[in-house]
Every structure is written in C-alpha cells, then in structure tokens.
Amino acid sequence: MPDAWKQIDDDFNRLIRSLTAALADRQVAHTVGETMQRLGIDWDDVTERFRDLPTWPQNLVRVALASDLLTVMSSAVVSDGQIDDDEMRVAYDLSRYLVLYMSALERYRSFADLTYDEVRLFMDQFQRDSLPFGGRGDGPTFLFSARLSLAVASATGNRTHMQTFETLIQTILSLVFGGVPRCSAEREFMAKIEKIFATLQGVRLSGQSPGGGSLWTAGEQTAVDDGYDKLVSENPDAERLTPDEALTAAMQELDSLVGLPGVKAEVRRLTAFLKIQQQRKKYGLRTSTQTLHFVFTGNPGTGKTTVARIVGKILYGFELLKTPNVVECSRADLVGGYVGQTAIKTQEKIESALDGVLFIDEAYALSAGGEGERRDTFGSEAIDTMLKMMEDHRDRLVVIVAGYPRLMREFIETNPGLQSRFTRYIDFEDFDVADLCRIFEKFCADGEYSLSPHSRARASILFTLAHHERDERFGNARFIRNVFEQAIGLHSERVHQLPPEQITREVLMLLDGADIAMNTLRNIDAEQLDLSAARWHGQCESCQTSSSCKIDFLGQRVTCRKCQTAFTFPWWNLVANTIPGVPGGWRPTAEDVEIDS
C-alpha cells in the first residue's frame, strides 16, 4: 500500500508539471484551446477565472486533475452499490489529499481539513455537483484532464501525459478494488474505464481536422461519449434493483459463495420464513412479530460483511425495508471523544442507515472498554442510543452486529436490551482447506490469471499449513487475498525480466510455483520442501473411486481407470505424511489407485 500511495503522488505531480510546462507555451496553449473546444469543452469560459491568477496555468491543471481523480475514485467506490470499510479508508485518504487542491474552488473550502466522518458528505456533494470541476457526469468539465492530456498530445505529439494519467487511474482503482475487481459491477466499471482509454489512445494526433470539424471519427466519438456518460450515473436511484430483482440477485449471490454450508442454510431458512409470512399477510392471517436483528459470529474473512449485504437485499426483496442499502461501521464511527458527542455520532450513523441495514463490525468493542472506565462509558452510551433508535424505528431499521464468537456472546450478555432484540444468530465457521483453495482459484479467475500444477501444489501446501495452525486471528479469505496479491506481484517481477518476445498472453496470465510466497504464513523455505513423494487425493465424480496423483496432474483433466469418466483432479487434498513436516487431511486406504507412476 505505501508503494501505491507513493506512485500516486509521483504520477500526480509529474502530470501537473508536464501539463503546466506544455500550456506555458503560448502556441501550444492556443492549439490546446482549439482542440478542447472540439472535444466538447468551452475552453475560454472554463479557464477565465484561472487566467488572472499568478499560478496560471498550474492552478487549472491541479484543480482539473484532482476533480477527475475524485470522480473516478468516488464512482468506483460505489460501483457495486455498497461501501465497505477498506473502500471508505481509501476514499478518505485520497479525498483528504486531493481536496487541498479542490479548495481553490470556494464551494469546497469548508472541506480543506477533511475528517473521516465528513468523507461521505463530501463525496455526496461532489458527485451531485454539476458546476465546473464537479463530479456529475453531465457537468461541463467531466474528465477535463483526460481530454486536456489528449489535447496536449495532439498539439505536441507527446503521448506521455495520457499514459501517466492512465497509470494514475489504474493505481487508484487497484487500491479501491483491493488489487482486482471482486464482483460483476466492479468488473463492468473497469471495462468502462478501459474502453475510454482504449479509444483515447487510438485517436489520431492532429490539432486540425479537415474542414475544422470534430477531431474524432464518428466511432471514436460514440465510444468515448458512451464511456463518459455511463461512468457516473446521473440518478443513483435509477439503477436500483426492484424488490423481485434484488431477491433473485441475493439468492444467486448466496449460491455463488464458496463454502459456508451452515450460513447458507440459515439464510435460506430466513427466506422461507419471510416468504410464508408474506403469504399469510396476503390471506389476512396474523404474521410473526419476531425481531429481524442479527448476530453474526465468526473469525475474520469468513464472509460476514458479504452475507450482511445479501440479507439486506433479501429484506428489501420482501419489502420489509425500502432499500437494499447496508451501512457499515465500527466503534470508531459511533463513539465520540468527549461527553455528549457519542449520542450525536451514533444517532447520525443510524439515521444514515434508516430504511436499510446497519452493520456493526467488531461490535463487542462497544462494551469492551479497553482504555479505562471513561471509554467504556462512551461505549455504553452508544449502545443505549442504538437500542432506543432500534425501538423508535423498528419498521425502518435492521441491525446486524458481528465479531468473534466468544466476544460477541459476552457483548450480548452485557445488556438485557441487547439480549431481547438480538435473537437471531448465524455462525460463520472457518473455511476448510478445499474452500480456501477454491477461493484462491476464484480470485485468480476474476483477475484473469491461471494456475500451473506447481502453483497449485505450493498454494495447497501453504493453505494446509495455515489451516492446521490457525487460531481465532486467522484471516480466512483475507489471508487468501494477501497470498493472491503477493502472487501477482511476484509474477509481475518475474515476467518483467523476460525478453519482450517471450511475453505472450499465456505468460501474462500464468502463475507458476515461484509466484506463491510460502513465507506469507511464516518463514518457510520453499526450496527445502521435499516434494518427490508428495501426493494429492481425488475421487471420480461418476463412480466415486478414490485415487492419488503427483503434482503434474493437479487441476488437470484425468480419466478414471475404473469407469473411464474424465474429471478435473482436485488440488486441495494433500495426502498426510507425503511431505515431511507438512500435515495433510486425507489418509489413503488399500483400495485407492494411483493414476500416475
């Protein structure tokens, strides 16, 4: 992460310097102005207020670039309809950096000292701002610096500005999406960005067009306009799913989750209950008054936040809530630093979640104290305020509290009001080795990476060790994401050193054994692992005959010797005691057949 922020800072300042230097040349500036007019920007009107300042043209470039980066970042953060804690942290860190330049505009000066609690307000105001350098898609300067970079390239023949701008956007999106897009909405957003850049990079470099007309061909104009227009929705509610669509989407998302059989069963049980209550209401029968507040218990990375979003869609689908929105928070979002502030912060946060779901992660921290009696008093104040608002808005709010199993049980027991309102529990168990491997494989597929048998072998060994040594701090899917992000980093370093003629599409996609960082868990020297006798267990999907194989067959299509059915050999069942010092979860029997020699 620190390297990414340094890259953003370096590229941001490099682009400011290069565009400022280009515009300092009067002839270039004149040509750029004409080109910007043909790109749909009223150049004279937009730049008028900046020209009389001594910092011209740097002041224009700074504001324009800050506006564009905020536009892309804020749109990416909400692209999937939700904002999780990691996305909010990125939004805050980047907004705090860029708002210093945006404060050159009077309407943003009040945000010059942006706090974490103000970032949602700032993003909302910015995205609705249709004035010059606001974030609305129909504003007069939407993606101004992207067009400016193209205009400078047109005037000078130098495309490095455009390339730097593209790199800057890609780095920001990588931070927002945690390395790679995690859902279809995020992938669609990335596709729109890539479409814009692909079109811009293909525009011919000509400051003049025949007859003084548009710089674009008809196809180029359509492609860029399509990307610009769809990047930010003019009406955030326009793309909201209908209740029926939300319910269907929720069940599809639930089915697509790796593992979590107990969680899926509980959510389906909830869905059945709500459906029957809906039908009873239709026939005029009494319906249950059971509370719909939940306690999610489980270790980190077990899918609690993801399932909370699914539950939000389900409750909206049955029209028990007016929106599918889930507002995520923690103790820091609810508890103030002085007497009287906590009740205000808690009330504001809950009000932002009305007609949807409030998801409180690590909720036990509200009663844990941790820094003496004073802080514990503040936590109790937050709990009391929450309980009162849950009662006052019982038809408009569902609260889900989540955290470690033991600590959550203790938390609920601290207050009778919590015990009476939170009666629905869903336990999120740690993923087993097979699920950890499947999650890793999904990360790879979503990121358009493939796995070699040797990368599967190393990942299987690493995940087997991690599962065997886990405690309540084990990160589950978060640990797998860390392994994946390290893998694509090592892959990039390795491929970067190859001769250009060897860098093919297949090479760019294939993760090999050397790309799996075995020291992610602890100081494991991969070169010291003796894999000569390593075996993995598999089972024919047709006749259920068991077999074992060596590394070369992992994840490959094989044929069952008993029934001749082809199946993909699984790579997560490392056979016990076949690698010295590495535990395995499966032990062979005399009936098992080895399919390789």
Percentage of residues in the chain having pLDDT higher than 90 = 23
pLDDT tens readout for residues 479-492: 998 899 889 889 99
Phi-psi region of 593 (alpha: psi -120 to 50; beta: other; left: phi over 0): beta
Check residue 587 and give its pLDDT: 66
Asked if 376 and 367 count as a contact pair (C-beta separation under 8 A), the reply is yes
Closest CA to 451 of 540, 351, 555, 381: 555
Residue found by looking up tokens 């920007």 in the block: 41
Checking if the pLDDT of 310 tops 90, the result is yes
pLDDT tens readout for residues 35-66: 888 777 888 888 887 877 778 888 888 999 99
Closest CA to 97 of 185, 27, 193, 168: 168
User: How many Å is the maximal CA-CA distance in the chain?
Assistant: 87
Checking if the pLDDT of 498 tops 70, the result is yes
Q: Which fold has domain 243-428?
A: Rossmann fold (3.40.50)
- The mean per-residue pLDDT over the stretch 428-449 comes to 91
pLDDT tens readout for residues 313-355: 999 999 899 888 888 888 888 888 776 788 888 888 888 888 8
Checking if the pLDDT of 387 tops 90, the result is yes
In the chain, where the domains are located: 2-237, 243-428, 438-525
84 Cβ contact list (under 8 Å, min separation 6): 305, 328
CATH of domain 438-525: 1.10.8.60
- The more confident residue out of 500 and 218 is 500
Residue found by looking up tokens 């070169």 in the block: 527
- Length of the chain, in residues: 597
- The mean per-residue pLDDT over the stretch 535-540 comes to 88
Angle between the 58-77 and 85-102 helix axes, to the nearest 10 degrees? 160
Check residue 270 and give its pLDDT: 93
**Structural tokens at position 293:** 């507040």
| Burial (CB count <10 Å: 0-12, 13-18, 19+), residue 584 | buried
For 588, what's the count of Cα atoms within 13 Å in the CB-facing half-sphere? Answer: 21
